[in-house]
Structure 1
Amino acid sequence: MDDIQESTQAATIAALKAERDQLLTLLKALPDISFVLDAEGRYVKVIGGANEAMYASGKSLEGYTLADALPPAVAEACLTHVKQALHTGEMQTLEYQLCVADVALLPPSVRDNDHHQAEQWFEGRALPLPSYDHSKPVVLWVAVNITPRKQVEQYWREAAYTDPLTGIANRRALFEQAEHEIQRAHRHHRPLSLLVLDIDHFKTINTQYGHAQGDEALRQFTQCCARLLRDTDFMGRIGGEEFVMLLPETDQLGAEQLGARIVEAIPTLDVPGMNNEHRMTVSIGAATRLEGEGFEHLLVRADDALSTAKRSGRNRLRVDQAATR
């Protein structure tokens, strides 16, 4: 009976070893790199990574730990998922950013390569390997380079929130940011002002010089305004030639001062192809948030002030006076 049990056990061990060897052979042929990591985060074996355009060889990591090789935050997150996989017996997934040049144990020739200086995105998949011959429990960690996918996601995310002509925020992004700033100003009882800007007689520019020149005028207008803003300010295009500026931590006087600088700066722009006699000007309406006021009402007041600026002859700033009534 003992002989039968020993024979059965030996056959089982041999089958598991053959299965493991088949798995490792398969992994070596795959483009993604894989690691056998033990419960302490030690690299027991590095496998695969045949796609040299996406991965650097990690053989030099064997015998070292995640903490030895990776930046602290990445190493800690990876080790947490290794332990979670061993505890639950189920696959754990983690997305993380890593610059190959920051992997301390790679050879200098690899780390100094220009291709490896850029930040990359990986999806780590940790799955327990119960039959692996090692003194401690291990997982198989497959690192899938998902940088191209992340780049596509970033492109579409920016496209959804960016005005394609000027490169600033579009209407959707502006309104979302405005709600956030309104809530913050309300919560902390801080001032917030709004400027609504409209390029004067812009349709005449398009008619006289053509749409291509009109587009260039819009870009130069945007760049000029952006140079006058602080890092905390937010500018968006909400219509053809209409723009809005969110000015956190800005009272009525601050909004007036900025608006006056913009009115003064725009006519100095020299748009290629446009006659020197034909200078752009801008009309601006300003409003400062009242206690408890939402964005839509604040925008209406700033827009009413803009209408007043246009009726008054354009090329000027008008401020809604609700706060002083």
Structure 2
Amino acid sequence: MYLDRDQMLVVLNALPDPVFVLTETGLYAGLYGHADPKYYHDAKDLLGASVRDVMPAEVAESIMEHIQEALHRNGLLKVEYPLSSQQVKGLENSAGPGGTLWFEGHVQPFPGLVDGERAVIWVARNITRRKQLEDELLEASQTDPLTHVANRRRLMEVLEFHFGAYRRYRHPMALIMFDLDHFKQLNDRFGHLTGDRVLRCLCDLCRQDLRENDLLARFGGEEFMIVLPSTTAERAAQTAERIRTHISTGVAAELDEELNVTISLGVSELLETDTSLEQVIQRVDDAVYQAKDEGRDRVVVNAAG
């Protein structure tokens, strides 16, 4: 049994994902599949239009490159790409999901010519939910579950990146380490649940004094580190002092007036003599111990090689 043309169109239009026929010059020559408005916008108005006319230049050029690559390899090409209806002329006000969506495109040559041109079949599958799950898993693998700041693994990745940039281009980077003073006594007096609340509050207050590209990470227990790109030890010491002052008053104001929470901070920076990250980490750790020896609730800078 063979299906006639009308029956084949019924089958094609019942497909769950949209199927585009795109010519070598970027014309939308065909559109099939079921445009479920929960996952896709109705793109029938694109038929006869050019990719370059309806897409932003950089998006259009990327699509054209994928078309050429599929034709050149004469086989299936898989690509992942983000796109929103606001980027496509004619779809701005159409029904469909909002925001930027992620698609997996299956692109392969069309057997024969379409209007005298070589063409490809482009199946677009919405993978936005999968991308969201991947991002959530990545975030979870890099985040401390209690304080929701970066964990030690993420910290070391960022430090390695900045250490490499310093070794190649001498881009400065400063490091702050701080430790809660008398945290064991706080836990013993108020309980571990209060101790956890203090750690979370401390991180919230600390982030208020940091720039967007600074990284706050939990180094272990009640120890935290802050990575400050493009910053010298002198500038980092000013940031550390703001954080010290903020926390010494802010935690009690946020949680309980009876809480007396202070921190001891150490500051250092990358030096030309550093051959490993361990050296700058050791310097900043030594500075924290010095701050504690000198009475706690203070900032100590250790910029010596």
TM-score by length of structure 1 reads 0.85
What stretches of structure 2 of length at least 5 have no aligned partner?
none
Once the two structures are superposed, residues 235-267 of structure 1 have per-residue CA deviations (whole angstroms, 9 ceiling, x without a partner) of 211112110112223223223222222222211
Pair 49,240 (structure 1): closer, same or farther in 2 beyond 3 Å? farther
Kindly name which structure, 1 or 2, has the bigger radius of gyration based on alpha carbons.
1
Which residue number corresponds to residue 3 of structure 1?
none
Which secondary structure state, in structure 2, belongs to the residue aligned with residue 238 of structure 1?
A: strand
User: Are 2:112 and 2:118, in contact at CA under 8 Å, matched by a contact in 1?
Assistant: no
Contact 1:81 1:93 in 2 (8 A): no
Take 1:80 and 1:297, find their aligned partners in 2: how far apart are those partners?
A: 47
Give, as a single letter, the amino acid of the residue that structure 1 aligns with 2:260.
R
Deviation of residue 275 (structure 1)?
Answer: 4.1
1:142-291 to structure 2, matched below 5 A, reads 142-271=123-252, 274-291=255-272
Partner of 1:77: 62
2:293 maps to which residue?
A: 311
Residue type of the alignment partner of 2:293: R
Q: Which structure dedicates a bigger proportion of its chain to helix?
A: 1
Give the alignment partner of residue 55 of structure 1, picking from 29, 40, 57: 40
Question: Which stretch shifts more, 232-241 or 265-274?
Answer: 265-274
**Residues in 1 aligned to 2:230 and 2:128: alpha-carbon distance in whole angstroms:** 38
Structure 1 residues 23 and 185, CA gap change in structure 2 (3 angstroms): farther
SS in 2 for 1:268: helix
1:36 alignment partner, one of 2, 5, 21: 21
- Measured in 2, the distance between the counterparts of 1:228 and 1:135 equals 63
- Deviation string 1:198-256 (CA, Å, 9 cap, x unpaired) is 01122233333233322221122112211212233222111121101122232232232
- Take 2:285 and 2:222, find their aligned partners in 1: how far apart are those partners? 14
Q: Distance in 2 between matches of 1:63 and 1:129?
A: 17
Query: Counterpart amino acid of 2:304?
Result: A
Give the Cα separation in 2 of the matches to 1:83 and 1:41: 10
The offset of 1:25, in angstroms, is 3.8
Alignment deviations for residues 113-165 of structure 1 (CA, whole Å, 9 cap, x no partner)? 5x543000011111122146632222111001110110111001111111222
Secondary structure of 1:322 counterpart: coil
Task: Give the drift of 1:65.
Answer: 1.2
Tell me the residue number matched to 1:124. Answer: 105
Percentage of identical aligned residues: 39
- Is the Cα contact below 8 Å between 1:284 and 1:317 reproduced in 2? yes
What one-letter code is carried by the residue in structure 2 that aligns with 1:90? Answer: G
Q: Distance in 2 between the 1:299 and 1:270 partners?
A: 27
Map 1:80-99; keep pairs closer than 5 Å. Answer: 80-99=65-84
Structure 1 residues 25, 308: closer, same or farther in 2, change over 3 A? same
Give the length in aligned residue pairs.
303
